[in-house]
A and B are shown apart, each in its own frame.
Chain A
Amino acid sequence: MEHSLLLNACVYLAAAVIAVPLSKRLGMGAVLGYLVAGILIGPFGFKLIAEAEDALHFAEFGVVLLLFLIGLELEPSRLWALRRPIFGWGGAQVGLVAAVLFGAALLAGVGWKLALIAGLGLSLSSTAIALASLEERNLMPTPAGQASFSILLFQDIAAIPMIAIVPLLGIPESAGGGENAWLAVLKVVVVLAGLIVGGRFLIRPLLRFIAKTDAREIFTAFALLLVIAISLLMQSVGVSMALGAFMAGVLLADSEYRHALETDLEPFKGLLLGLFFIAVGMSVDFGVFLARPGVVLGLVAGFLVLKTGVLYGLSRAFGMARGQHLQFALILSQGGEFAFVVFGAAATARVFSPDVASTLVVVVALSMVVTPLMLMAFDKLAANRQGARKDAKPDAIEPNEDHVIIAGFGRFGQIVGRFLNASGVSLTVLDHDPDQVDVLRRFGFKVFYGDATRADLMHSAGAAKARALVVAIDDIEDSLALVDTVRRDYPSLTIFARARNVTHYYQLMDRGVTMIERETFESALKLGRSVLTAGLGQSAFRTRQAADKFRKYGTQNMLAVYPYYKDRDTYVSMAKRARDELETMIARDRKAVDEETGQDWD
């Protein structure tokens, strides 16, 4: 096949485009749609793709990106605050589930080595499926979501020693594991230290430099390069790629490019995760399944019952909301990506026979397919119960962020921002000039680098929870594009806009913006007042009154011309008329002042 790459891409994309919307339409969620698409195009479906293995390896990078993006959301201080759930709950989950599965396997008469590795491998859950399910249901901020996340993070850490000890249980191939272990630890420490130092003194300046070139795709390319390079580096010292990417994300979490990185990598993450789910679907070996359907189904059922049971028990100990126990247990019930690796290692070390390994891999893959189905059933059940009780109240209360977003922090936005900041308003500032961002950050402003006109950046900036949006961008087209996006996505968010000129003012009015200020009007009028008073010695208060009148009539005029501005011919004449009118009015103002009797103020 000459164009196998493009052809494969075509098959994957077509499968996803057809299966996912259908699946969502049927209320089954995106994850299940991907899995089914994978089964359909895989070796046991229409056989459109032969090499499921390769796709799985490639698509695992989606999980890596996912972890990197999660890391970006977690500043080191927040991660530190999570240390108890991660190590306490995570340790409890992995330990207990592995112990129960190990015991059950021993009781079933399985050899202890096999039972131990199977128990450990199956105790791990699928980060991709669990997190995707959480996000699909908006559960990330809930206690169940946080607990799941902490546990998944611990599993990523726990997978490393697991993969390391599996060969020790097998037939010894090489001697001298002891000194190698020390060397390995040392390598990890050195690489981590390098990452921390490099992250601060190398990656950030580099990001700034690249951002300044203003070539969007190069920034995206660098973001991808960064994640891939760090992942490969971590893998080379024996740390999982996902964990390495996660740590890199945490290191960049307080960087001003966080939002930009998120925005640029998000689509890749989504697509690769989709590909990952498709690959999992393809790798379900129905040959093994059909050979011994009873055994496989029995194993899947037994495994899921035991794991879900232990998780359910743990969830009570973690003090979760009552309605969330079962949901939490189901979300983490499946076997994970690491199980494939652990079982693969076990097969290589000849602890597992190929038969056992492939059976267990099928069990894991099937458990991944079952998870979305069970969650769907749970949702249905919960919805029914919710419907039965009429007093249903929304429980997942999101953290309230009463902030004001300022898009564009140049000479205009800065003044608005400084004033609001001085008035104690919490601000999120977006700007696309790296130099600007850097300087402002040094003065303690919370400024993020990014192109505010992008819908997803507005989303990451927290537009949904903003009290107001100040559009202070200097480019008229960008300003209007941003207003369009925000009116569409956040219709209730009040927009305060800077107008560069009268036409821009009208264009903002077209879009329903009511709070508009012409950027130079007030300062020009103020300077005019200074000329009259300090320059020509006119009375200050009288000049102020004249300026107030001038502003009032000028604005009235501008609004009067608004209905005609689109029609170019009329506009020209109307504008001229407005100018004439203004002149007349100024003259009238002066007359009014001059003609007033001297009798009302003595």
Chain B
Amino acid sequence: MTAPNILILYAHPAPQRSPVNRRLAEAARAMPGVDLRDLYELYPDFDIDAEGERALLEAAHLVVLLHPIRWYGMPSMLKEWMDVVLRPGWAYGDGECALRGKSCWLVASTGSPAEAYGPEGIHGHPFDAFLLPIRQIAALCGMDWLAPLVLHGSVDAGEAAIEAHVHEFRRRLAGYAGDARLVEAAHGA
């Protein structure tokens, strides 16, 4: 296999202040077959190269969304990325549906602990409820939704918890990379 077939869209506006996501990004960057796109680093002026991003998406088998949860959703950069890259007729609709059959994996973190999500918590709803938009985006584009990997309570998470989280991330990523390679081999035969 030649081209990386896992595409990570990493969106963090202030990585220097990130206790979790920066380490996940660093871990992913070191792995073969993984292309990590640090969107805030690539497009500080939000002038996203939609054409180039689409080409990368087409080559990938797995798209990973790696970001902290902010105001119940993705950072503004990733939203902008979706606005300009996921063009109707290309990503969904009557056109080529270039993302159909690819997988989508959300790797996110929240500052609040898990208990904050739910009818009694300050956020009032279970965490999954807030994932509805992104799940529907994946569904509309015909992508398989993989079980998200979420770290709650990152503010108070100790080193051990973070280390465990990073380890789990790396393990699953390696697994998907293996799967993808298998898929690639099957196609090539």
A540 proximity list for chain B (CB < 8 A): 40-42, 44
Kindly state whether residue B12 has any CB partner on chain A within 8 Å.
yes
A571-602 vs B, CB cutoff 8 Å, 1 = contact: the mask equals 00000000000000000000000001111111
Q: Give CA–CA (A597, B14) in the complex, Å.
A: 11
Q: Sort chain A's interface into a size bin.
A: 10 to 19
B13 proximity list for chain A (CB < 8 A): 541, 601
Q: Give CA–CA (A575, B21) in the complex, Å.
A: 44
With A602-B109, A602-B154, A602-B155: A542-B16 Cβ-Cβ less than 8 Å: yes
Kindly state whether residue B68 has any CB partner on chain A within 8 Å.
yes
Please tell me if the beta carbons of A598 and B44 are within 8 angstroms of each other in the complex: no
Interface centre among B15, B44, B111, B154 (most CB of A within 10 A): B44
Given B17, B41, B42, B44, which contacts A601 in the complex, CB threshold below 8 Å?
B17
B2-44 vs A, CB cutoff 8 Å, 1 = contact: the mask equals 0000000000111111111100000000000000000011101
CB distance from B68 to the nearest CB of A (A): 5
Interface centre among A529, A541, A597, A602 (most CB of B within 10 A): A602
Q: Give CA–CA (A541, B109) in the complex, Å.
A: 21
B14 proximity list for chain A (CB < 8 A): 541-542, 596, 601
B128 proximity list for chain A (CB < 8 A): none
Please tell me if the beta carbons of B41 and A541 are within 8 angstroms of each other in the complex: yes
CB distance from B29 to the nearest CB of A (A): 15
Kindly state whether residue A539 has any CB partner on chain B within 8 Å.
yes
A543 proximity list for chain B (CB < 8 A): 44
Closest to A529 in B: B44
User: How many CB-defined contacts (below 8 Å) exist between A and B?
Assistant: 47
Interface centre among A533, A539, A600 (most CB of B within 10 A): A539
Kindly state whether residue A544 has any CB partner on chain B within 8 Å.
yes
B17 proximity list for chain A (CB < 8 A): 596-598, 600-601
B111 proximity list for chain A (CB < 8 A): 599-600, 602
Please tell me if the beta carbons of B41 and A602 are within 8 angstroms of each other in the complex: no
Interface centre among A533, A543, A599 (most CB of B within 10 A): A599
A602 proximity list for chain B (CB < 8 A): 18-21, 68, 109-111, 154-155
Please tell me if the beta carbons of B110 and A541 are within 8 angstroms of each other in the complex: no
Please tell me if the beta carbons of B40 and A539 are within 8 angstroms of each other in the complex: yes
Q: Give CA–CA (A542, B155) in the complex, Å.
A: 22
Main secondary structure of the interface of B (DSSP, over half): loop
Kindly state whether residue B70 has any CB partner on chain A within 8 Å.
yes
Kindly state whether residue B94 has any CB partner on chain A within 8 Å.
no
Kindly state whether residue B45 has any CB partner on chain A within 8 Å.
yes
Please tell me if the beta carbons of A539 and B154 are within 8 angstroms of each other in the complex: no
CB distance from B139 to the nearest CB of A (A): 27
Chain A residues 532 to 559 lying within 8 A of chain B, measured CB to CB, are 533, 539-544
Closest to A594 in B: B16
Interface centre among B16, B18, B42 (most CB of A within 10 A): B16
CB distance from B182 to the nearest CB of A (A): 34
CB distance from A546 to the nearest CB of B (A): 10
Q: Give CA–CA (A597, B19) in the complex, Å.
A: 11
Please tell me if the beta carbons of B18 and A598 are within 8 angstroms of each other in the complex: yes
Interface centre among B20, B21, B41, B154 (most CB of A within 10 A): B41
CB distance from A495 to the nearest CB of B (A): 28
Please tell me if the beta carbons of A598 and B19 are within 8 angstroms of each other in the complex: yes
A598 proximity list for chain B (CB < 8 A): 17-19
Chain B residues 108 to 148 lying within 8 A of chain A, measured CB to CB, are 109-111
CB distance from A376 to the nearest CB of B (A): 64
Closest to A593 in B: B16
Q: Give CA–CA (A599, B155) in the complex, Å.
A: 6
Can you list the 4 inter-chain pairs with the closest CB atoms, starting with the nearest?
A602-B154, A544-B44, A540-B44, A541-B40
- New A-B pairs, 10, CB < 8 Å, besides A541-B14, A543-B44, A598-B19: A529-B44, A539-B15, A539-B16, A539-B40, A539-B41, A596-B14, A599-B111, A601-B12, A601-B17, A602-B19
A residues with CB within 8 A of B: 529, 533, 539-544, 596-602
9 A-B pairs within 8 Å (CB atoms) are namely A539-B16, A540-B40, A540-B44, A541-B41, A598-B17, A599-B111, A601-B12, A601-B18, A602-B155
B residues with CB within 8 A of A: 12-21, 40-42, 44-45, 68, 70, 109-111, 154-155
